[in-house]
Structures are given as C-alpha cells and as structure tokens.
Amino acid sequence: MRKCRVGGPGGPMPGRASRRGWPAVSRGSLRLAVVVVMAVLAAASPGEVLARQDGGRFEEVARKGIGEVYNLQFEQAEKTFTELTAMRPHDPAGPFFLAMITWWRILIDIDNTRYDDEFFGSLDRVVDMCDSLLDRNPGDVNAIFFKGGAIGFIGRLKFHRNDYLAAANAGRKALPLVQAAAELDPENTDIQLGTGMYDYYAEVIPEEYPWLKPLLLFVPRGDRQRGLREITAASEKGRYASVEAAFFLMQIYFYYEKDYGKALAIAENLFARFPDNMLFHRYVGRCLSSLADWNGTRTAFEEIVRRASAGQRGYTRNVEREAEYYLGVSLMGARDYDGALRHLLRCDELSRTLDTQEASGFMIMANLKIGNVYDILGKRELALEQYRKVLGMKEFKDSHTQAEQYLKTPALY
C-alpha cells in the first residue's frame, strides 16, 4: 500500500503552477512579468516624500486610509482618501490611493472582473496626472513614484487576467521609474521593496525555471539574499510600503524559501493588525497546515467558514471552498477520516458551482484525497472511482501521477 500525502493544492502565486498549465506562446512573457512586474508592484510608494510635506498632516491622513484599506473598510477609506485629494487636488497621491480601494475590491474576489475597467481607468488618470507634473519638472520624485506604482498595478491585474504580454510590457515601463526614484531619493526605505523584489526574483526565477535563462540574458542579475534584506528593511521601516512588503515577504518565505515558521510569524502579525482581512487570515491557516499543526489549522479555517457563512466582506465561496479543503486535510492529519470526508466532499460540492470552465486545483486535489480516505476506510471501489475521476480532469502538479499510482496500490496513511 502506498502512503498518501497530506498537503494542500498550493496557493495563488504563479511560481507554483505547472509549466504545462501555461499557454506556450505566453510562457516567456509570463516569467519575465514575474521578474519585472513583481519588482515594481508596490515599489512606487510615496515614501518619505509625503512625510516632508504639510507638517505631516498629509502623511497622517494617507496612513490612516491605507490601514482602512488593508482592513477592508472601503467606505471609510474612500472618505479618507477623498479628504486627502481635497487637501492637494493636483497631487496624484489621492487618486492613486482611491484606486487601491478598487484593487482590494478585486483582490478579495479575484475571479470577478466587475471592477476591472474602473481600476484601469483610475490608474490611467493617475499616469496622466504624473505626466503633467513631469512635463514641468522631470525630476519630480513624487510623480515618478506614483507613475511607476500605477503602471505596476496595471501590470499586476493584467497578470491576474492572463494577459502576460501586457503585464510584461507594464513591468518594462515601470522598472526604469523605480530605478530613477531610487537614484533621486536613495534614503527612501519604501523604495527598497521594489529594488529588493527585483534582486530576489531576478535570481530565483532562473533557478526555478532554467529553461527561461536565455530569455533573461539582458535582464540585470539579482541577488537573492540582498533582496531578502531589502524587503525585510522595507517591511520594518517603510512608511507606506511596510504592510505590502511584509505581505510579499510572507509569500516569499511560504512559496520559495519554504520557511513556514517565518511565514507564519508574518501572517499572524498582519492578521493581528488587520483582523478583517481574509487574505491574511487564510495565510495563517495555510502556514499552520504546512507546519502540520492540525489543531491550529482547524481553528483558523473553522473561523473562516464561520465568517463566510455570516457573509463577512471578503469571505466568499472561494474562500469557504479553500477552508473546507484544509479542514479535510487537517482531519486527515488527525486521523479523523469520517470528518475529513465530510469537509472534502463539501469542497468538491462548492467547486462544482465555482469551477465553471475547468476543474480547479482545489477540486482536483479534493477528489484525490477523497479517494485516499476511501482507501483508508477500506472502500476500495469508491476510491478507484475517485482516482479515475481525477485522471479525467486536467493535471494539477502531479495529480495524474498520484492517481495512476493509487490505482495500482491503495493509499495508506
């Protein structure tokens, strides 16, 4: 009998996807987008520029609104950033931060394209404002920051929408702005998020995907350890990018460094600061699952299911589906197979309403683990049915290899 693996289907970061899953025409653009766009997504934060203006009042209002956005208090954040815009109508800060409200509306329900046009339009207006300022003063650091940030976030959404050429093009345009900002304001700690992410991913991506190296010959070399130091500095000392830096640092430790303890510490800190942010909440649960802390995993994801049932903002059916999956995994780890089966079946049930085009990783892995549970419970025929079902779905990671092996040898935990 073959021992089954207890684990998750992986998170949303592109680096976790199977090479087979990407359209051939887009692979090079995709990874170039990761190297370049990831380096500028949050790098063009206003940083210390705002801190030197208006006696600190502008900075105070901006930081208040940023905290409201991260805690998904969108209505209050809109009032705060509208006040910010009124304080200085020709500054791109207010419109940029208002666009970040729309970004988080998208991020909490990433498959919903309802806000896409609004988001792109608002960032285009930010770019236009910045261009007007730069026409008058090419060395306007504030305008450079916000133009780079706006283009970077345009690329980020294009990336999520699988428009990899557009994402890579956005990264190509934004990177020189980040570099210029770093030269003009070298003491700006927030800028280290952008330079650090570039340093990190420019080294890591070619290591993870050697077949991409020819495409990266003209991309400046990175430095993994320096990148980690810079991102850490931005997370600890950044005025505006500290939360974003911590968020990216958490994902780096989770997906690439495989240091789940460090990732968990960051996730718990972020969730403590922003207790209504479902994304930080989910990472707490994911990290606990990766550490095989089954009691902690259940506690985290049971609360997520409760919030989803209550209709709390951001706790969508997609979030509930993920929670049901990890509850099943945690109960498998605790050898409560009947309980695990209930949650995995619920995950599959939700997937059948959510996966309108093709099976998701959660549906595929839930069905594979349902087969494992049936094997463990001695229900071999039901298990075989599950493995055949998995083979009828697209391959996710090594799902077909596992299913074929379990068809030959029953799973054993």
We report the CATH number of the domain holding residue 393 as 1.25.40.10
pLDDT mean over 268-289: 98
pLDDT mean over 292-311: 98
Residue 20, pLDDT score: 29
Domain stops at, among 195, 227, 257: 257
Does residue 271 fall inside a structural domain? no
Q: Are residues 247 and 287 in the same domain?
A: no
Residue 103, beta-bridge partner list = none
- Domain holding 250, by residue range, is 27-257
pLDDT mean over 156-168: 84
Does residue 372 fall inside a structural domain? yes
Q: Are residues 403 and 337 in the same domain?
A: yes
Residue 256, pLDDT score: 93
Q: Are residues 245 and 322 in the same domain?
A: no
Long-range contacts of 360-366 (CB under 8 A, 24+ apart): 360/9, 361/9, 361/10, 361/396, 361/397, 362/9, 362/321, 362/322, 362/325, 363/393, 364/9, 364/390, 364/393, 364/394, 364/396, 364/399, 365/8, 365/9, 365/325, 365/396, 365/399, 366/325, 366/328
Q: What's the CATH number where 237 sits?
A: 1.25.40
pLDDT tens, residue by residue, 314-366: 999 999 999 999 999 999 999 999 999 999 999 999 999 999 889 999 999 99
Q: Are residues 33 and 178 in the same domain?
A: yes
Domains contained in the chain, number: 2
State whether residue 398 is helix, strand or coil: coil
Q: Are residues 113 and 240 in the same domain?
A: yes
Residue with tokens 């995709």: 30
Domain stops at, among 228, 257, 286: 257
Q: Are residues 253 and 293 in the same domain?
A: no
Position 5 pLDDT exceeds 70: no
Q: Are residues 252 and 280 in the same domain?
A: no
CA nearest neighbour of 104 among 279, 234, 326: 279
Which tokens hold the place of 87? Answer: 């304080």
The rounded percent of the chain whose pLDDT value lies above 70 is 84
pTM, rounded to two decimals: 0.86
Residue 286, pLDDT score: 98
Residue 16, pLDDT score: 34
Position 88 pLDDT exceeds 60: yes
Q: Are residues 197 and 248 in the same domain?
A: yes
**141 compared with 24, residue with greater pLDDT:** 141
Does residue 16 fall inside a structural domain? no
Q: Are residues 182 and 310 in the same domain?
A: no
**What's the CA dihedral at 46, 51, 56, 58 to 10 degrees?**
-10
Does residue 21 fall inside a structural domain? no
Q: Are residues 201 and 299 in the same domain?
A: no
Residue 19, pLDDT score: 28
Q: Are residues 218 and 330 in the same domain?
A: no
Residue 275, pLDDT score: 98
**259 compared with 21, residue with greater pLDDT:** 259
Residue 160, pLDDT score: 87
**182 compared with 335, residue with greater pLDDT:** 335
Q: Are residues 248 and 301 in the same domain?
A: no
Does residue 397 fall inside a structural domain? yes
Position 293 pLDDT exceeds 60: yes
Position 64 pLDDT exceeds 90: yes
Does residue 263 fall inside a structural domain? no
Residue 240, pLDDT score: 79
Average pLDDT, the chain: 86
Other CB atoms within a 10 A radius of the CB of residue 20 amount to 10
Residue 184, beta-bridge partner list = none
Residue 195, pLDDT score: 80
Residue 45, pLDDT score: 44
Position 214 pLDDT exceeds 90: no
Residue 54, pLDDT score: 59
Task: Give the pLDDT band of residue 213 (cuts 50, 70, 90).
Answer: low
Q: Which of 20-34, 233-247, 250-264, 297-311 has the lowest mean pLDDT?
A: 20-34
Does residue 19 fall inside a structural domain? no
Q: Which of 10-24, 34-48, 123-137 has the lowest mean pLDDT?
A: 10-24
Position 180 pLDDT exceeds 90: no
Contact present, 239 and 189 (Cβ < 8 Å): yes
Does residue 167 fall inside a structural domain? yes
Domain stops at, among 222, 257, 292: 257
Measured CA to CA, the distance from residue 47 to residue 28 in angstroms comes to: 33
